[in-house]
Amino acid sequence: MTGSSDLTVLQLNQSVKTVLQSAYPEPVWIRGVITGLRRVSGRGHTYFQLADPSDPGEQSPAVADCALFAGDRSRISLEAGRKGKLFQLENDTEVRIRVSISFWDRSGRFQLIIKGFDAEFAGDSAAIHLQRLIAYLKDEGVLYENGTLPLTEIPLRIGLVTSKGSAAERDFVKTLDESGYPFQVYAAYASMQGSSTSDSVCNSFNRLMLSGTSEGLDAVVLTRGGGSATDLAWFNDEKIARTIAQLPWPVVSGIGHEVDTTLPDHAAHTRAKTPTHAASLLVDMVARFDDRVSSLSNALVSSVSPRIRLEKLTLKNIGNNLTLHLASLPSRKREVLQKLASKLNFSVTTKLHELDSCISEMEKQVEMRDPGKMLKLGWAVVRDIQGIPLRTIDAVDTGQTVNISMDKGSLKAIVKEKIND
């Protein structure tokens, strides 16, 4: 059954279009997360879906098709540039955009035509996205893993993940070199900007793991210099955070400037503000250890020094006394020696005299018996002709020839008569 009041599709679409236009005569502000972003080359138009935010892994409650025409893009970029902001659309980022509602009556297609872009909100949105990611990864415990690793007091063997030849690398290495401590740096270079950042950084961590140096590393530093919020936002990838959580060494993260915060800063063991600051943290640790050793050494020396001084003084006194004693020793000994010598001299002389007297005495006794001497005194010795001494008159016969020895010669005599006493 049909009626004259029935509408055609076109009539309905036109009616809906009219209602929409009367409901939204001017563009409105809307916020949502960009998905399915694609650019149509040649004409410069950009198309994507804007979705209401949802938890990771869950489907968005609502989406709407969006279009940014080339002409509008140029104008919006210019406006953002005047405010010192960058106009950039990226998937998975939340944006606040001003749209006019378009309804194509021929196709019945509903589309939001972008007319404006809130550059301030873009930054805030990235921050909210990061906060959500941080909260989510904290719940899983991912952000606490690396922080539980012990960091040695003297981190000298350092793995470095950064861009090759970058200012960050120069600043970091220079600060270590200027410290004078014997740091050893093992670099694993990575792309530190653009969509490949996350994969490249994770690959560099893996290369350090696979290299022979990995076991000996004390810490690994992930660092890059400052850049736009968009540049640094490439680090806000949960893959990097999950990789850091699985590393065996403490990670020091120094990405961007002091005001910048990225996801690796939360996943790392220690956060540094800049590449130079990352190096300074390591240098300070080694310096603190050095200072502590020095002060311990000084304390040891100062506790021992008084004792050593006392011992030295005691030794010196002993030495002085000994010197004095030794100096006086020869004279005292000489005195004793001289006394002994005098005594000896006296004893020897006395003894020698005694001996001499004794000899003299014996000499006298011998002299008394010397036949020569006796003959000189007038004594004579009578012998028979055989020379046998005749000691008594009984040994001599009258008429016997005898020899009489006298001083200066002898007599041959014949005994005439014997006269007894």
Applying CB under 8 A, the residues found at the interface with another protein are: 337-338, 341-342, 344-345, 348-349, 352, 355-356, 358-359, 362-363, 365-367, 369-372, 381, 389
List the beta strands (DSSP E) in 124-206.
157-161, 184-187
Distance (Å, whole) CA 412 – CA 403 = 5
157-161 β-sheet, strand order: 184-187, 157-161, 219-224, 251-255, 270-272
Taking the least distance from each CB to another protein, the nearer of 284 and 363 is 363
Distance (Å, whole) CA 196 – CA 394 = 164
Minimum separation from the CB atom of position 364 to another protein (A)? 10
Taking the least distance from each CB to another protein, the nearer of 5 and 331 is 331
Minimum separation from the CB atom of position 418 to another protein (A)? 21
Minimum separation from the CB atom of position 298 to another protein (A)? 60
Taking the least distance from each CB to another protein, the nearer of 120 and 335 is 335
Q: Give me the helices (H) in 89-166, please.
A: 119-140, 142-145
Give the tokens for residue 208: 């350090």
Helix (H, G, I), strand (E, B) or coil at 345: helix
Taking the least distance from each CB to another protein, the nearer of 106 and 369 is 369
Is-contact 159 168, C-beta < 8 A?
no
Give the tokens for residue 185: 């740096």
Minimum separation from the CB atom of position 347 to another protein (A)? 9
Minimum separation from the CB atom of position 367 to another protein (A)? 8
Taking the least distance from each CB to another protein, the nearer of 61 and 409 is 409
Q: Which residues pair with 392 in a beta bridge?
A: none
Q: How many CB atoms lie within 10 A of CB 99?
A: 21
Rg (C-alpha) for the chain, rounded Å, is 65
What is the distance in angstroms between the CA of the first residue and the CA of the last residue of the chain? 224
Minimum separation from the CB atom of position 333 to another protein (A)? 11
Distance (Å, whole) CA 387 – CA 415 = 16
Taking the least distance from each CB to another protein, the nearer of 44 and 389 is 389
Distance (Å, whole) CA 82 – CA 344 = 126
Minimum separation from the CB atom of position 380 to another protein (A)? 11
Minimum separation from the CB atom of position 392 to another protein (A)? 12
Q: How far is CA 234 from the centre of its chain?
A: 35
Non-local CB neighbours of 400 within 8 Å, separated by 6+ positions: 384, 414, 415
* Among 192, 195, 193, 191, CA closest to 37: 195
Taking the least distance from each CB to another protein, the nearer of 370 and 397 is 370
Minimum separation from the CB atom of position 360 to another protein (A)? 8
Distance (Å, whole) CA 373 – CA 407 = 9
